[in-house]
Structure 1
Amino acid sequence: MTPRSYYDSDQPRRLVVSEITNLRRYRGLLRLLVRRDLTVRYKRSMLGVWWTLLNPLLTVAVMWAVFSTIFRFEIPGGVPYVVYVLSGVMLITFFSQGVVASGSSIVGSAGILSKVYVPAEVFAVAPALAALVNFGINILLLLVVQLIAGVGIPFTALLAPIPLLFLVMFVAGLGMMVASLAVAYRDVLDIVGVLLTLTMYATPGFYPVTIVPDRFLLLIHINPLYSYLEVFRGLVYGGNFAPGWMWAVMVFTACGSLLLGAWTFSRSWRRLAVLV
């Protein structure tokens, strides 16, 4: 018989440690919430899960028509534009969707959290993992496009899960921070939406960094998402490793974001229970 686990919302918490422990302790609930998010997303949809493939393809088609045929961007290394932009769209979309979904998770699950005593951080992390499932499907699409475009699949593609793991940590941490603030200030979600749009244009996802004027390069380099993207691209189709400083930025921001997000929950969990 499977042992039952009970959650006591009045039990004192240890900063950060309790949040990390709860994610492991309630992994069954976490899996259930991920499955629910995936089911709800495609419910009553004619194409269902096929939208996971069609969305990036349609976006890439529009960007290819505009930036490849009109502006005629030249991608360094002779990489086909369709491969370059698809990898960028996939990663940036995952980041944006994950942060928004995780950030609104506590407010969206208020009906459950106000009646059932379960750790709220599980609800905040689940959307990031659900977005990762969709991203995994898109990676298969990217690999197929690479083969069709003649790029091939280098052996370094086997290491692609490494930046994805750190990206999930980054998204989950940001999501927990946004979720904590959104319970008290609902307009935080609107502000985050604007910031995510700015981040999308500040990340070389559909344009090469070589076209950016030198005076703006610093803004590109201090954008953490740029490091994630370059590490991912180098592994999945470049067959090389990004510079060490990009790996350092990726590891530092992922671990820092997750710890800061867990700390935010540790400091605000009683307030969340009241406001929800």
Structure 2
Amino acid sequence: MIWPVKIIMPIGEEQTVYEPEYRVKLGFVRCWVAMVAGIAQSRELIVQLFYRDMLAASKQSLLGIAWTWVSPLIGIASWLFLNQVGVLMPGKSDVPYPLFVLLGTTIWGVFMAVFTSAASSLSANSNLIMHAHFSHQVLVAQQVAHASLSMVANLVLLAAAFTFFGVHPQWTALFFPLSLVPLLLLGVGIGMIVSVLSILVRDMTKVMTTLLGVLMFFTPVIYTPDVGNEVLQDLIWLNPLTYLVGGARDLMISGIIRDVQGYVVAVSFAVAVFLLSWRIFFISEQKVAEKL
């Protein structure tokens, strides 16, 4: 497969010159320009695919968008049960434990939703990739938009929970949606790498989903970071997701990010992973089409 590299204009006619591996040869700056331009030029296609998936998700569905609320509520019920029987000891919290769990699982759910969406962007659309020529970045953008809609629905559930428990969020809660952006970037970044690798290793998405599920237990999602076990505490503080999840939750509960330095490092890590993954995803697009 070959790809366009430049435009020439002989005698008033526009022609496209094709060259293999042109994306690798673009250079650092031109490659980033092409990446951003590819997204901007595909806005209409992103919207069309977004509506397509929305209709597909709601068609022949028992609860439709209500699953966005049912799923986390079922998960919260299980954690509350473990807490009540004494299996789970979450530590002290400034808010009722059900609200603490809902907030933590909502934040974690944002990360997992965008990861899952980005990771399946290529394999789930293999037929479309084989029959149409377009930038594969469109698939990731459309999947992220779909996951972001679910995030908005979860924010409504959070607002209802705060009202039910009579807890007033800090004014810094206004920045809560912004604090989710690093989690979005990290989830999309990891997902894009996995989506490319899954073309070669078909069960890569399942492997990473399982590993991230295990990683949740080393992230203070359902418990506070002040655990008694020193080994577990070291693992928790080495985990960048600890700061991203904790920072977002702190803005809602206390109004002050507990570890600002750790949060800044974790945000920088998330941005770096996203930019590197995006570039790899863009450059490997030709190889992906050949392997499908």
Normalized against structure 1, the TM-score is what? 0.89
Q: Deviations over 1:49-76 (max 9, x none)?
A: 1111111112112211211453463543
Q: Deviations over 1:206-249 (max 9, x none)?
A: 12222351222221122222111111101123222332123313
Structure 1 CA distance, aligned partners of 2:59 and 2:134?
A: 26
- After superposing the two structures, state which structure 1 stretch, 132-141 or 69-78, moved more: 69-78
Corresponding residue of 1:111: 127
Q: Write the letter of the residue equivalent to 1:118.
A: F
Corresponding residue of 1:4: none
Secondary structure at 1:76 match in 2 = coil
Corresponding residue of 2:163: 147
Alpha-carbon contact 2:218-2:232 (below 8 Å) kept: no
1:86 offset after TM fit, Å? Answer: 0.5
Structure 2 CA distance, aligned partners of 1:75 and 1:115?
A: 54
Corresponding residue of 1:28: 44
Q: Deviations over 1:232-275 (max 9, x none)?
A: 10112322233212331332122112111112123312101211
Matched, 1:164 2:180: yes
5+ residue gaps, structure 2, are 6-21
Change (3 A) 1:228 1:208: same
Change (3 A) 1:206 1:68: farther
Corresponding residue of 1:37: 53
Matched, 1:237 2:248: no
Structure 2 CA distance, aligned partners of 1:170 and 1:195?
A: 15
Matched, 1:190 2:206: yes
Corresponding residue of 2:9: none
1:88 offset after TM fit, Å? Answer: 1.4
Structure 1 CA distance, aligned partners of 2:121 and 2:38?
A: 17
- After superposing the two structures, state which structure 1 stretch, 210-219 or 113-122, moved more: 210-219
Structure 2 CA distance, aligned partners of 1:76 and 1:24?
A: 47
Corresponding residue of 1:266: 282
Alpha-carbon contact 2:244-2:267 (below 8 Å) kept: no
Change (3 A) 1:225 1:36: farther
Matched, 1:70 2:86: yes
Q: Write the letter of the residue equivalent to 1:147.
A: T
Residues matched between the structures, number: 269
1:84 counterpart (97, 100, 103):
100
5+ residue gaps, structure 1, are 1-7
Change (3 A) 1:253 1:34: farther
Change (3 A) 1:117 1:235: same
Q: Write the letter of the residue equivalent to 2:135.
A: P
Change (3 A) 1:253 1:24: farther
Structure 1 CA distance, aligned partners of 2:290 and 2:83?
A: 49
- After superposing the two structures, state which structure 1 stretch, 122-131 or 154-163, moved more: 122-131
Secondary structure at 1:242 match in 2 = coil
Q: Write the letter of the residue equivalent to 1:260.
A: L
The structure with more radius of gyration: 2
Alpha-carbon contact 1:9-1:117 (below 8 Å) kept: no
Alpha-carbon contact 1:174-1:257 (below 8 Å) kept: yes
Q: Write the letter of the residue equivalent to 1:214.
A: E
1:105 offset after TM fit, Å? Answer: 1.3
1:162 offset after TM fit, Å? Answer: 1.4
Q: Write the letter of the residue equivalent to 1:39.
A: L
Q: Write the letter of the residue equivalent to 1:153.
A: P
Q: Write the letter of the residue equivalent to 2:36.
A: I
Structure 1 CA distance, aligned partners of 2:203 and 2:87?
A: 37
Of Structure 1 and Structure 2, the greater helix share is in: 1
Normalized against structure 2, the TM-score is what? 0.84
Alpha-carbon contact 1:169-1:258 (below 8 Å) kept: yes
Change (3 A) 1:152 1:118: same
Q: Deviations over 1:110-167 (max 9, x none)?
A: 1111111111122123222211211111112112211221221221110012122222
Structure 2 CA distance, aligned partners of 1:72 and 1:189?
A: 29
Secondary structure at 2:180 match in 1 = helix
Corresponding residue of 1:275: 291
Corresponding residue of 1:19: 35
Structure 2 CA distance, aligned partners of 1:117 and 1:212?
A: 55
Corresponding residue of 1:138: 154
